[in-house]
């Protein structure tokens, strides 16, 4: 299942990778599904320590070139009257405790 177009979903890439791992052998399908799913049991030798057990799992992650920008409300967004947006939550709680 090669990807024949320049835009694709992550699920399409994962399916293509699974197909490459499988090749023509369908008897490995369960092992490949486990490798892309819950993971395969393994051990790794930690330098200057002992063997550590765990799992190896293949997953895909999208990492944008630029970090997402924090969203700020538009200037026309109404601010409640009497609210200072520079106060921390702790300061607001302290003020409320002082003036019940």
Q: Helix and strand tally (H, E) in the chain?
A: 3, 2
Q: What is the C-alpha to C-alpha distance for residues 31 and 33, in angstroms, rounded to an integer?
A: 5
Contact by Cβ (8 Å): 32, 50:
no
pTM: 0.42
The pLDDT tens digits of the residues spanning 18-34 come to: 777 777 655 677 777 78
pLDDT at 81: 67
pLDDT at 53: 93
Residue 64 has pLDDT above 80, yes or no: yes
The pLDDT tens digits of the residues spanning 72-94 come to: 766 666 666 666 777 778 888 88
The crossing angle, in degrees rounded to 10, of helices 29-36 and 10-22 is: 140
């Amino acid at each position: 299942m090669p990807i024949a177009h320049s835009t694709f979903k992550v699920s399409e890439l994962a399916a293509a990778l699974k197909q490459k791992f499988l090749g023509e052998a369908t008897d490995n399908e369960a092992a490949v599904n486990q490798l892309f799913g819950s993971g395969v049991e393994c051990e790794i030798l930690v330098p200057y320590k002992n063997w550590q057990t765990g799992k190896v799992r293949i997953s895909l992650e999208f990492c944008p070139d630029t970090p997402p920008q924090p969203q700020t409300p538009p200037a026309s967004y109404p601010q409640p009257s009497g609210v200072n947006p520079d106060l921390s939550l702790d300061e607001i709680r302290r003020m409320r405790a002082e003036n019940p």
